[in-house]
Structure 1
Amino acid sequence: MNTKFLVLGLAILSLSSCRTPLNVAQIKPEKNISISKDLQEDQNFKNFIEPYKKEVEGKMNTKISHTSVELNKKGDNSNLGNLLADFTFEGADDWARKNGITTGVDAAVINIGGIRTTIGAGDILTKHIYEVMPFENEVMIVKMKGSDLKGLFEYYLKTQKNNPVSHLVIETDNGLIVNELINGQKVDANKDYYIATSDYLALGGDNMAFFGKGEIISTGIKLRDLFLEKFKANPEIVAPKDVRLNFKNKKVKTDE
């Protein structure tokens, strides 16, 4: 019987508490505690993480390739930008041919802002790729009609921005497009093209709204993982020197 009364009492208290106004507790400011180098280190914690720290540092400092020149992102045809665009093309092309797109991809577009730093001449370490590409972006393939690719070329005409491309040639002069090639050929308005890019750009990032007219195909490949794989596969990097973006009489200053 006592148990029944106890349960009933708790129920009544619960119901009444629902009708009780919420009281805001008084907040009193307390004195800040200064954190400085004089604070004693937790030796147990340090000992615990030390093996993991050494393992991570070892992996990050592993040599994966070499370059005899600085790989930078300056200018409209930066060697690092074009190199990473080529790597994006190659990775997407390989995936496409293994997954039912028998013709592979036709071109690649990446954004210069996604390349966060440069790589100096000398040994290329794993950590350098993480510094260049700190984001978890994925490689996407966008299927587009040739007629819809007009938006891509107009984007470069309007912005004259040095977003790197692969297997594309875009030339402008005094507000006009004077040359637009994909895989060395003029664009066929009735043909389907497959453009490799990042998920950020495929979804309209950096004002690339033209991708919205296409069909987005996910590859599941992380850009950084692809770059790591490509650098490892090329012990000596040969930086691209070809001209892909040619903005004659350019009035807009290149931002990188």
Structure 2
Amino acid sequence: MKIKFLLIASAFLSFTACKTPLNIAKVSPEKNISLSKDLPEAQNFKDFIEPYKQEVEGKMNTKISHTAVDLNKQGDNSNLGNLLADYTFEGADDWAKKNGIPAGVDAAVINVGGIRSSIGAGDILTKHVYEVMPFENEVVIVKMKGSDLQELFDYYLKTQKNNPVSHLYIETDNDKVIKGLVKGKEVIETQDYYIATSDYLALGGDNMAFFGKGEVISTGLRLRDLFLDKFKANPEITAPKDIRLNFKNKKNRTDG
């Protein structure tokens, strides 16, 4: 069926410093077009985009890794959350060592709300990573004093939320932080620590105001691109099983 396209002319108005009076020459009402699923496709447009569509679908359905178990974000130490936190740590650590931070980063913190999907057992395709991380967030490194890390531990005490961490161990019991370790060691208040996270969290997202005490270092790395590279580099995923967040006597669950 031949499709008629209605052309609507728009007038752009220019305002000058002398404020020339506005003159409207003519207003002509036109017939509305109702949009619905029954509106015929423009075949020439469909033919034009088809090769691009096939190329994108081909890339999205490309196998990049495999997992023998379901990867999900449920629970205080979810396997997908911890895996992505580790990938964030590894990517930031590698960047840091190449860009003036010889010792690399000390830990990583991401938010469970930023993980938008799970990955079922079987082949992991490119599209699965896009579904898990649809945002364009950047990996950043926040330089913080050890004395300011107490606010990070207090955040987890207050929220008891399962925001994934890497190279951190946080143990709470009722209204106290029992233990807060970085790379298995007690925090030294006068020492500088480098924490990898996302630009969203570094700017106070998810109420992580404690990052505001530090100095934000941009890496230019995109979280999703980093995750894609990490999955490609690991043809068979080994899901983390270690305990990183230990909320004893937890009353209210706030899993993402």
Same fold (TM over 0.5): yes
SS class of match (1:201): helix
Match of 2:80, as an amino acid?
L
What's the counterpart of residue 80 of structure 1?
A: 80
Q: Quick one: distance in 2 between partners of 1:25 and 1:152? A: 63
Q: Which has the higher helix share?
A: 1
Q: Quick one: distance in 1 between partners of 2:42 and 2:34? A: 17
Shift of 1:253: 1.4
Q: Does 1:151 align with 2:151?
A: yes
Q: Which whole-Å deviations, capped at 9, do the CAs of 1:84-109 have from their partners, x for residues lacking one?
A: 00000000000001111011100000
Unaligned runs of 5+ in 2: 1-14
Match of 1:117, as an amino acid?
S
The percentage of counterpart residues that share the same residue type is 76
Unaligned runs of 5+ in 1: 1-13
What's the TM-score, normalizing by structure 2?
Answer: 0.89
What's the counterpart of residue 34 of structure 2?
A: 34
What's the counterpart of residue 10 of structure 2?
A: none
Q: Quick one: distance in 2 between partners of 1:253 and 1:89? A: 26
Shift of 1:251: 1.7
SS class of match (2:64): strand
What's the counterpart of residue 119 of structure 1?
A: 119
What's the counterpart of residue 48 of structure 1?
A: 48
Q: Quick one: distance in 2 between partners of 1:133 and 1:218? A: 19
What's the TM-score, normalizing by structure 1?
Answer: 0.89
Task: Give runs of aligned pairs for residues 66-215 of structure 1, distance below 5 A.
Answer: 66-215=66-215
Rg: which structure is higher?
Answer: 1
SS class of match (1:134): coil
Q: Quick one: distance in 2 between partners of 1:246 and 1:113? A: 19
Shift of 1:25: 8.0
Q: Quick one: distance in 1 between partners of 2:103 and 2:239? A: 26
Shift of 1:21: 6.4
Q: Quick one: distance in 1 between partners of 2:147 and 2:231? A: 35
**Count of residues in correspondence between the two structures:** 241
What's the counterpart of residue 60 of structure 1?
A: 60
Change (3 A) 1:252 1:99: same
Q: Quick one: distance in 2 between partners of 1:225 and 1:68? A: 23
Match of 1:42, as an amino acid?
A
